Chain A
Amino acid sequence: KQEVTQIPAALSVPEGENLVLNCSFTDSAIYNLQWFRQDPGKGLTSLLLIQSSQREQTSGRLNASLDKSSGRSTLYIAASQPGDSATYLCAARFNTGNQFYFGTGTSLTVIP
């Protein structure tokens, strides 16, 4: 069964700190993986998409990596800001089947 997990469920850091969010998946036959943020009561905002042939993707202060052999992806946020406070979700699409499997998310709070 294909599963995606995110640990920890919640994280609180002081402003300016660099941080890493983790995403694990059970099937190394991954097609692509996408990171999202969700603000309370809102839809999901796409942050980064990594194809299976890629090792990492960068956008501004965000860097996402993908390690298929270990079944892990990380989202690195540099110089965190209070506006980064949100729930971060990862979603993996595997080679078998065509749907996205979502993790349960990490709720991030950046303290001013």
Chain B
Amino acid sequence: KAGVTQTPRYLIKTRGQQVTLSCSPISGHRSVSWYQQTPGQGLQFLFEYFSETQRNKGNFPGRFSGRQFSNSRSEMNVSTLELGDSALYLCASSVSTDTQYFGPGTRLTVL
């Protein structure tokens, strides 16, 4: 089985722009979770989607949003980018609440 894929792998944006990241889960997995990883804050949970519905949400501002499609692929959108949004964004897929499998991440740099 193919693993979790994330596109793009690297992204450079400027403040005020918006960005969309994509995650394709492992075939058969219906849950996709998104995380932000920074040196200062570690791994922080953004949100989780299960069967196209947001099942959980972390403590991030409304600028961070996501969605999941019927084929379980998920997108994450960040609007009005700030310097502090520079991070490694990771997505993870699972069947439901069991083992999470992570993708390689998207490295976002905001200038």
Contact = CB atoms under 8 A, between A and B. Distances in A.
Given A98-B48, A98-B56, A104-B42, A46 B97 contact: no
Q: How large is the interface on A (under 10, 10 to 19, 20 to 34, 35 or more residues)?
A: 20 to 34
B90 A100 contact: no
Contacts of B58: 99
Contacts of B48: 98-99
Contacts of A49: 98-99
Given A98-B56, A99-B56, A43 B104 contact: yes
A41 B9 CA distance: 11
B45 A100 contact: yes
Given A97-B56, A98-B55, A99-B48, A44 B42 contact: no
Nearest to B43: A102
Contacts of A93: 97
A44 B48 CA distance: 17
A102 B44 CA distance: 7
Interface in B83-109: 88, 90, 92, 97-105, 107
Interface of B: 4, 33, 35, 42-45, 48, 55-56, 58, 88, 90, 92, 97-105, 107
Interface of A: 31-32, 34, 36, 41-46, 49, 89, 91, 93, 97-105
